């Protein structure tokens, strides 16, 4: 079983990228769906990309430099992340509805003992379904699950075990090192048939057996999907835009778990007089969040401080927990900054905290500037419809 680094550094991300690059062309296109114990034909870069220890642009550039258009399949997969983020930015209510669904699902478990037993067996890998149980256990011990296994896991969770999809999304979010509000929520909706109405994903036993080279023969899988109740896709609202900071004003920088490589801000001329870090792993779920995620975030923050400490000056934090917003207001006041610049946080727990912080800082006459990476600003507005329309536009923009 592949052991993921529970401590994240940019050096380990770059090492993994260098190790993977030779197979990012035709090999990836042909072999990426195989269920191999070591997952050697996929990049396993997602924990780094999720927290932007590594950026999508640099991964795309390196893959194209080596493979030219033979890297197209890999590049398309990397673009899915921006598609899901942009889609959710224009429909943030889907995140709120999903969170409400998690609470409703947990309340159902309190009322229904059979459902609660099935849920616990699914989370602990004790259902007796081959493959599914192995993937569940691998997820909780390594923080990773292969993409095709995620699709099959979600499908079995919903259509064979009849568990609420929101609880499955929550199980992933609190265990995956790459747990991401947009990619995770919207992929679960996609499997459930909510994203593309009428098109659910049904896991098939023979496909799992073939892709795992006979290692898993799951029995008793649902042979038909059913219509999963849930709100339909909302009409997209406007895509948010980033703000610009005033170079003349005293400035503080607030980094957070959604973007731990501020090089692009420093290269754009940002000179903070103080820098704070915000992490919010416990805000991912009402249930306990994996210690692997916490260790990964701790490592990534330490690594960022070590790498860029001299440019970031006067480091503070990481700030976390229920008093985080109060602590950040006190920090901002103490720095004497007139503006706090922060990388734009996409819809999710950090963006929620930043919304509260924004209001509190405004009362102190301090502006919160959400600076958007050019990659996000260029791609997100194209996520208005399905992925193929997005991809047509996006592949020429990166």
Ligand X SMILES: Cc1cc2nc3c(=O)[nH]c(=O)nc-3n(C[C@H](O)[C@H](O)[C@H](O)COP(=O)(O)OP(=O)(O)OC[C@H]3O[C@@H](n4cnc5c(N)ncnc54)[C@H](O)[C@@H]3O)c2cc1C
Judged by CB under 6 A, the residue of 6, 43, 261, 290 near ligand X is 43
Indicate whether 155 belongs to the interface with ligand X (CB under 6 A). no
Structure tokens at 158: 């919903």
Work out whether 44 is an interface residue with ligand X (CB under 6 A). yes
Instruction: Report the interhelical angle of 181-192 vs 72-89 (nearest 10°).
Output: 100
Which span (98-106, 142-150, 305-313, 355-363) binds ligand X, by CB under 6 A?
142-150
Q: Which is nearer to ligand X, 146 or 316 (CB)?
A: 146
The binding track of 327-366 with respect to ligand X, each residue x by CB under 6 A or -, is ----------------------------------------
Q: Contact between 277 and ligand X (CB under 6 A)?
A: no
How far apart are alpha carbons 344 and 255 in whole angstroms?
A: 10
Q: Among 77-85, 192-200, 283-291, 315-323, which window interacts with ligand X (CB under 6 A)?
A: 77-85
Among 16, 81, 216, 370, binds ligand X (CB under 6 A): 81
Using the rule CB under 6 A, is 102 a contact of ligand X? no
* Dihedrals phi, psi of 346, to nearest 5 degrees: -70, 165
Picking from 35, 39, 47, the residue whose alpha carbon sits closest to that of residue 19 is: 39
Question: Could you give the CA distance from residue 261 to residue 255 in angstroms, rounded to a whole number?
Answer: 9
**Nearer to ligand X among residue 366 and residue 394 (C-beta):** 394
Place of tokens 């209510």: 93
Nearer to ligand X (CB atom), residue 52 or residue 367: 52
Contact with ligand X (CB under 6 A): which of 154, 325, 354, 357? 154
Work out which of 35, 50, 195, 373 binds ligand X, going by CB under 6 A: 50
Q: In what order do the strands lie in the sheet with 251-256?
A: 315-319, 274-278, 251-256, 339-343, 367-371
Q: How many Å is the Cα radius of gyration of the chain?
A: 21
What does the block give as tokens for 361? Answer: 């800082």
Nearest-5° angle of CA 395, CA 58, CA 390? Answer: 20
Among positions 6, 187, 212, 261, the unique one binding ligand X when judged by CB under 6 A? 187
Nearest alpha carbon to residue 318 among 287, 353, 286:
353
Looking at 17, 90, 163, 191, which residue binds ligand X (CB under 6 A)?
191
CA 96 from chain centre, in angstroms, equals 16
Q: Cβ distance 147 to 213 under 8 Å?
A: no
Cα 169 from Cα 165, distance rounded (Å) = 6
- If the CB atoms of residues 153 and 344 are measured against ligand X, the closer one turns out to be 153
Site size toward ligand X (CB under 6 A) is 28
DSSP 156: I
Q: Supply the minimum distance, in Å, between the C-beta of residue 168 and ligand X.
A: 8
183 binds ligand X (CB under 6 A): yes
User: What are the residues binding ligand X (CB under 6 A)?
Assistant: 32, 42-46, 49-50, 77-78, 80-81, 84, 146-147, 150-151, 154, 172, 176, 178-180, 183-184, 187-188, 191
């Amino acid at each position: 079983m592949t052991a993921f680094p529970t401590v994240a550094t940019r050096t380990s991300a770059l090492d993994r990228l260098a190790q993977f690059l030779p197979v990012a062309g035709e090999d990836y296109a042909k072999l990426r769906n195989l269920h191999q114990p070591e997952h050697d034909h996929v990049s396993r870069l997602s924990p780094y990309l999720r927290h932007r220890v590594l950026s999508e642009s640099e991964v795309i550039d390196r893959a194209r430099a080596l493979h030219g258009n033979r890297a197209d399949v890999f590049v398309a997969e990397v673009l899915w992340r921006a598609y899901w983020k942009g889609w959710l930015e224009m429909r943030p209510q889907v995140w709120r509805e999903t969170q409400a669904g998690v609470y409703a699902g947990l309340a159902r478990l309190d009322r229904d003992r059979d459902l609660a037993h099935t849920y616990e067996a699914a989370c602990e890998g004790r259902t007796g379904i081959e493959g599914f149980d192995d993937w569940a256990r691998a997820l909780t011990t390594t923080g990773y699950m292969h993409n095709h296994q995620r699709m099959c896991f979600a499908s079995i969770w919903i259509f064979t075990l009849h568990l609420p999809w929101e609880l499955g999304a929550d199980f992933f979010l609190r265990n995956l090192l790459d747990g991401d509000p947009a990619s995770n929520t919207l992929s679960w909706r996609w499997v459930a048939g909510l994203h593309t109405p009428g098109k659910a994903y049904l896991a098939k036993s023979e496909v799992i057996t073939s892709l795992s080279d006979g290692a898993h023969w799951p029995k008793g899988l649902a042979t038909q999907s059913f219509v999963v109740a849930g709100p339909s896709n909302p009409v997209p609202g406007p895509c948010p835009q980033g703000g610009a900071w005033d170079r003349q004003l005293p400035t503080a920088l607030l980094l957070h778990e959604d973007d731990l490589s501020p090089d692009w801000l420093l290269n754009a001329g940002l000179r903070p007089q103080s820098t704070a870090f915000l992490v919010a792993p416990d805000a991912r779920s009402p249930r306990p969040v994996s210690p692997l995620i916490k260790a990964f975030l701790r490592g990534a923050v330490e690594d960022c401080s070590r790498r860029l400490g001299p440019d970031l000056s006067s480091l503070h934090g990481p700030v976390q927990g229920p008093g985080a917003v109060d602590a950040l207001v006190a920090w901002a006041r103490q720095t004497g900054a007139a503006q706090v610049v922060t990388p734009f946080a996409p819809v999710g727990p950090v963006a929620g905290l930043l919304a509260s912080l924004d209001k509190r800082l405004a009362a102190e006459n301090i502006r919160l500037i959400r600076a958007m990476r050019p990659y996000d600003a260029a791609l997100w507005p194209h996520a208005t419809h399905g992925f193929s329309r997005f991809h047509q536009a996006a592949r020429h923009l990166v």
